[in-house]
């Protein structure tokens, strides 16, 4: 955190003298009279030189110009209240202060829709978390590449093609809606009928051999499906750098397997191909019928990415049910001696209905994501009839994004439209309203920032300034753990601090011009920083409510 950077460096140097070589545990304080807390000394209570260390820290803090007040408790918690005389220098350069000194190349794998199926409610968290991680990491200067990683190959596609042949459906005439209807029917028939199962397997074999007719059918199905997926993604303000899928790495699989066999990394086991690593159960690379698994495709995808979109860190934003898959994938990558990179599974819980059960349609099918959007749009429109459609659209996406990201990604949550559109709760509507209120003050004041300085005249102003400065800490926490909920909660906190500050007095009617100008400067900083957080969360601000 730039405003206390010199203080942290001096404390760190002092700790080094006593062999306390660790990162300073600098946290936001929950004690009303202090801003921050340092907890490093707590575990050194029995250190023989603890009294000497404390004496030196007392001197350091008493003399440091950024420290306004402090205390060291009997349990050795260090509580600090900082001097905000120079705060404007840091608020005005907040974007530069956020930039990392060690930018990385990060590849984020998220989205993962299968062609032939619509985006459904289960995709919401992957899309929201993935987009937020993209924006957060870009904000601090990392180079980020996103890949939708389509499920566009294998048996599910073969089942659709086989179903169309069985039912005499001309694939050239299929619409996206018709394709959505075919997919579950084909899957059910595959389970119930041995004859259809054999037909689908034959189509899958033709697909893998890239025979002309079935490849043309596959190409048409993919085109129709991608158009439908893209339409939904555009509506929800999602995009991707790469639109690659399982089909794009088909030609890499055989050479990969041949090389791994040569290295003794693979062996035949009960007619299947397994890794020779010591794992129980054995890690399967190819089934006894010669078909490949998701693991096989993911390994080939890594090779493709290393060759064409190299990265330092790969984040797989996929739900918690795939934990075993990614554990196996990362172990296998290491065992196969792929180039060393940082691979992380960013897992998350499910979004459920009000009863805590998975979203379903009245017919018992999976709820489409577009349906959830439409429900949200109609709900907001009914209670805000004077708003234009573009504003309602932005508010709808805010609700679908903010309520999703506000929850710790590792936990499930219930989708409660009434709760998530409450103007006075911890909601996307609340944080949008704070933005609109601040924008109106700036607009009506005809504000132009010049040489006038910000000065802090009361507690609410000071609390808001500290809140705005805390962005560095919160953003770094969100990046460290790939957890956007810290930032979502932070946006609510600074919006609440702004509303408290706003309600204390009528700023536009103040007679003291210097005080009025200072408060407008602070509002402008709130707007700039909260707008940055909106972007990090993947949301757009509105102009009216």
Q: What is the pLDDT of residue 361?
A: 65
Q: What is the pLDDT of residue 163?
A: 97
The answer, yes or no, to whether residue 463 has pLDDT greater than 80, is yes
Instruction: Work out the end-to-end distance of the chain between its first and last CA atoms, rounded to an integer number of angstroms.
Output: 35
Q: What is the pLDDT of residue 360?
A: 72
d(CA 43, CA 51): 14
Average pLDDT of every residue of the chain: 95
Q: What is the pLDDT of residue 451?
A: 63
Beta strands in 76-196 (DSSP E): 78-82, 105-109, 143-147
Domain residue extents for the chain: 2-83, 155-235
Sheet holding 342-346, edge to edge: 143-147, 105-109, 313-317, 342-346
In angstroms, what CA-CA distances link 106 with 136, 137, 309, 344, 392? 12, 8, 10, 11, 34
- Average pLDDT for 413-434: 96
Q: How many Å separate Cα 445 from the centre of its chain? A: 37
Tokens of 336: 């196969």
Half-sphere exposure of 218 (CA within 13 A, CB side): 24
Q: What is the pLDDT of residue 291?
A: 82
The answer, yes or no, to whether residue 364 has pLDDT greater than 70, is no
Tokens of 391: 């504003």
Backbone angles phi, psi at 291, to 5 degrees: -75, 155
Q: Is the dihedral of CA 288, 294, 299, 301 positive or negative?
A: positive
Q: At what angle do helices 389-406 and 369-383 cross, to 10 degrees?
A: 120
Which residue matches tokens 């890690």?
Answer: 283
Per-residue pLDDT of 374-390, as tens digits, reads: 999 999 999 999 999 99
Beta strands in 94-181 (DSSP E): 105-109, 143-147
d(CA 6, CA 9): 5
Per-residue pLDDT of 209-259, as tens digits, reads: 899 999 999 999 999 999 999 999 999 999 999 999 999 999 999 999 999
The answer, yes or no, to whether residue 357 has pLDDT greater than 90, is no
pLDDT band at residue 366 using 50, 70 and 90 as cut-offs: confident
Q: What is the pLDDT of residue 412?
A: 95
pLDDT band at residue 337 using 50, 70 and 90 as cut-offs: very high
Fold of the domain built from segment(s) 2-83: Gyrase A; domain 2 (3.30.1360)
Q: What percentage of the chain reaches a pLDDT higher than 70?
A: 99
Per-residue pLDDT of 19-72, as tens digits, reads: 998 999 999 999 999 999 999 999 999 999 999 999 999 999 999 999 999 999
């Amino acid at each position: 955190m730039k405003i206390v950077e010199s203080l942290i460096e001096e404390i760190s140097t002092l700790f080094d003298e006593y062999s306390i070589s660790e990162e300073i545990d600098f946290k936001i304080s929950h004690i009303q009279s202090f801003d921050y807390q340092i907890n490093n000394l707590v575990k050194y209570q029995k250190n023989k030189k603890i009294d000497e260390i404390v004496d030196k820290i007392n001197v350091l803090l008493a003399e440091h110009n950024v420290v306004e007040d402090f205390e060291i408790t009997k349990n050795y918690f260090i509580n600090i209240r900082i001097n905000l005389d120079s705060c404007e220098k840091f608020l005005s350069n907040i974007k530069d202060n956020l930039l990392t000194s060690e930018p990385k190349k990060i590849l984020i794998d998220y989205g993962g829709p299968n062609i032939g199926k619509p985006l459904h409610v289960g995709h919401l968290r992957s899309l929201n978390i993935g987009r937020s991680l993209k924006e957060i990491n870009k904000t601090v200067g990392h180079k980020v590449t996103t890949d939708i990683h389509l499920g566009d190959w294998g048996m599910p596609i073969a089942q659709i093609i086989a179903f169309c042949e069985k039912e005499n459906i001309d694939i050239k005439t299929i619409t996206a809606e018709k394709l959505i209807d075919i997919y579950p029917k084909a899957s059910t028939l595959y389970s119930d009928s041995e004859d259809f199962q054999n037909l689908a397997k034959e189509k899958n074999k033709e697909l893998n051999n890239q025979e002309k007719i079935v490849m043309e059918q596959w190409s048409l199905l993919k085109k129709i499906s991608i158009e439908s997926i893209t339409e939904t993604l555009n509506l929800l303000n999602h995009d991707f750098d790469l639109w690659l899928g399982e089909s794009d790495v088909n030609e890499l699989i055989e050479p990969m397997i041949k090389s791994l066999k040569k290295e003794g990394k693979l062996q035949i086991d009960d007619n299947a191909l397994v890794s020779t690593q010591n794992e129980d159960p054995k890690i399967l690379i190819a089934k006894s019928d010669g078909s490949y698994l998701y693991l096989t495709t993911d390994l080939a995808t890594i090779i493709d990415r290393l060759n064409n979109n190299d990265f330092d860190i790969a984040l797989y934003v996929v739900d918690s049910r795939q934990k075993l898959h990614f554990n196996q994938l990362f172990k296998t990558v290491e065992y196969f001696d792929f180039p060393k990179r940082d691979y992380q599974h960013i897992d998350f819980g499910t979004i459920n209905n009000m009863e805590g059960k998975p979203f379903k349609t009245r017919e018992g099918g999976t709820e489409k994501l577009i349906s959830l959007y439409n429900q949200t749009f109609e709900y907001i429109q009914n209670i805000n009839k004077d708003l234009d459609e573009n504003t309602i659209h932005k508010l709808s996406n805010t609700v679908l994004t903010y309520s999703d990201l506000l929850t710790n990604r590792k936990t499930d949550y219930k989708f409660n439209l009434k709760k998530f559109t409450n103007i006075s709760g911890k909601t996307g509507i609340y944080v949008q309203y704070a933005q609109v209120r601040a924008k109106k003050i700036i607009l009506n004041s005809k504000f132009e920032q010049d040489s006038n300085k910000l000065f802090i005249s009361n507690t609410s102003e000071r609390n808001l300034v500290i809140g705005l400065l805390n962005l560095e800490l919160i953003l770094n926490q969100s990046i460290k753990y790939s957890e956007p909920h810290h930032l979502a909660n932070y946006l609510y906190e600074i919006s609440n601090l702004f509303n408290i500050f706003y309600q204390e007095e009528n700023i536009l009617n103040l007679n003291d011009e210097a005080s009025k100008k200072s408060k407008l400067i602070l509002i402008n900083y709130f707007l700039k920083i909260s707008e940055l957080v909106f972007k990090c969360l993947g949301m757009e601000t509105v102009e009216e409510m």
